[in-house]
Amino acid sequence: DSGVTQTPKHLITATGQRVTLRCSPRSGDLSVYWYQQSLDQGLQFLIQYYNGEERAKGNILERFSAQQFPDLHSELNLSSLELGDSALYFCASSVPQTGDTQYFGPGTRLTVL
């Protein structure tokens, strides 16, 4: 158990819908990262937050957004969902802003029908 929790574990929804994925980092970790794992793209970095502020952006679509709250949990919002958004979404956390070990949560498996 990495100490990072993600909910829900599975999510099935329809095209055009909006969903919210939730992540709680390890106790004491200030950085939260979101990654997407799909069969065709592999594991890709989406976005990083540090202590409530956005720090880095990767291949995140404009239909996706995230935020980190004062209690350090984070949410990833996916809207206008398409079939191609079906993937495993991971949250990771680490202590400092950059460069240290990232610990991954169990992931949320999103299926868009």
Kindly tell me which residue out of 56, 60, 61, 95 binds another protein, with binding defined by CB under 8 A.
56
Rule CB under 8 A: say whether 102 interacts with another protein.
Answer: yes
Rule CB under 8 A: say whether 82 interacts with another protein.
Answer: no
String of contacts with another protein for each residue 10-39, x by CB under 8 A:
---------------------x-x-x----
Q: For residue 18, give every residue at least 6 positions away whose Cβ sits within 8 Å of its Cβ, in sequence order, or none.
A: 77, 78, 79, 80, 81
Q: What SS3 string covers the chain?
A: CCCCEEECCEEEECCCCCEEEEEECCCCCCEEEEEEEECCCEEEEEEEEECCEEEEECCCCCCEEEEECCCCCEEEEECCCCHHHCEEEEEEEECCCCCCCCEECCCEEEEEC
Kindly tell me which residue out of 13, 26, 38, 45 binds another protein, with binding defined by CB under 8 A.
45
Nearer to another protein, 2 or 86 (CB): 2
Rule CB under 8 A: say whether 61 interacts with another protein.
Answer: no
- Chain residues in the site for another protein (CB under 8 A): 2, 31, 33, 35, 42-45, 48, 50, 55-58, 88, 90, 92, 97-104, 106-107, 109
